[in-house]
Amino acid sequence: MTYERGLLPPFAGPPTFARCPRGKLGDLREGMVAVFGVVADTIDERKRPGTAPGAAAIRHASMQFISHIEAAPGRRVRDTMTGNLLSLPDRWDMLDLGDVESNASEPPDIASDLDALTRPVLEAGAIPLMLGGPASLSYLTNVGAYEEDGGLVRLSPTLGAYDEQGRSATIGTMGFALQAWFRQAQEPSVKMLTAEDVRRRGALQVAREAIDWVSGMRRVHVAVDMGLIDLAYSAGTPLPGVTGITPRDLLTMCAEIARSVPLAGVTVCAVAPALDRRGRSEALAARAAIELIAPLVFEGREGVT
């Protein structure tokens, strides 16, 4: 009997994100999604540590999702919430580059190493998908930092950096903030949509408002800080909040944004798996990342409508 590598169960590794091929920078093509992890922890003393293993946990969790597609007849599934079809690619437009090589104990090194990886990814015309690490590093893969006409949609519980050029929108802010920051966030050049806005107006409406805000941008980076989810649903994050949005809201918004903006890059960060033994936080982070890249990777197969 000749050995043939067959289908693997969801727990069998070694894991890449959604079991896409491993690759190197030189393997990237125009329009590909380039996955990489950040093995770094939060240095903010207000927050609980634990994000360093986040990227590995998200990769593991993503195999659960992809194994359902692999095992499905026709290798495709339908999302009953959105009606969207997701299928296993005939040819992968996604490579997992592994984790950023860096000294995890030296934040300045991580920042420069992350920058050193992101630049060639963008130069290759690829779309970075950064997994894991603390929210404080996510700005480094924001394509807006590299391109003048790049926009940013943040799904985050925090107000974020002041943006006088009006290129960014933030969804999901909650909790307490310094009054001065809150005043800044209310200036006309800033688009802030709170978790309360999501509850009152609905996830779809709020996502569309953010999409309208960045509609003049050539490309848009989407950054997800998993701290925006209510801790009842997902507690594996450095600073869980009690008035956050639901997983359904997050996935609804990710699906809508991904199909409405030209995607420049994605960041899914602030996952601390050891703080949620239920395995829910990394699984939700994987789902959010998959929803965001689905039109680029899982919906491109010919004949799928």
Interface residue list for other proteins (CB under 8 A): 6-10, 61, 64-65, 67-74, 76-81, 85-86, 232-233, 246-248, 251, 277-280, 283-284, 287
CA distance to 49, 186, 189, 207, 214, per residue, from 169 (Å): 27, 12, 10, 10, 7
Residue nearer to other proteins on the CB measure, 32 or 250: 250
Q: How far is the CB of 233 from other proteins (least distance, A)?
A: 4
Residue nearer to other proteins on the CB measure, 107 or 279: 279
Contact present, 120 and 36 (Cβ < 8 Å): no
Residue nearer to other proteins on the CB measure, 99 or 249: 249
Which DSSP symbol is given to 26?
G
Q: How far is the CB of 280 from other proteins (least distance, A)?
A: 4
* Residue 85: its H or E element: strand 85-87
Q: How far is the CB of 79 from other proteins (least distance, A)?
A: 5
CA distance to 60, 156, 200, 230, 242, per residue, from 47 (Å): 24, 15, 29, 16, 15
Q: How far is the CB of 244 from other proteins (least distance, A)?
A: 11
Contact present, 266 and 73 (Cβ < 8 Å): no
Distance CA 25, CA 34 (A): 8
Q: Cis peptide before 15, with omega less than 30 degrees from 0?
A: no
Q: How far is the CB of 64 from other proteins (least distance, A)?
A: 6
Q: How far is the CB of 164 from other proteins (least distance, A)?
A: 36
Distance CA 112, CA 223 (A): 19
Residue nearer to other proteins on the CB measure, 81 or 145: 81
Q: How far is the CB of 37 from other proteins (least distance, A)?
A: 20
Residue nearer to other proteins on the CB measure, 114 or 228: 228
> What angle is formed at CA 213 by the lines to CA 210 and CA 217, rounded to 5 degrees?
115
Tokens of 191: 């688009």
Residue nearer to other proteins on the CB measure, 88 or 137: 88
Residue nearer to other proteins on the CB measure, 83 or 188: 83
* Residue 27: its H or E element: none
Residue nearer to other proteins on the CB measure, 51 or 234: 234
Distance CA 270, CA 62 (A): 16
Q: How far is the CB of 282 from other proteins (least distance, A)?
A: 9
Contact present, 215 and 260 (Cβ < 8 Å): no
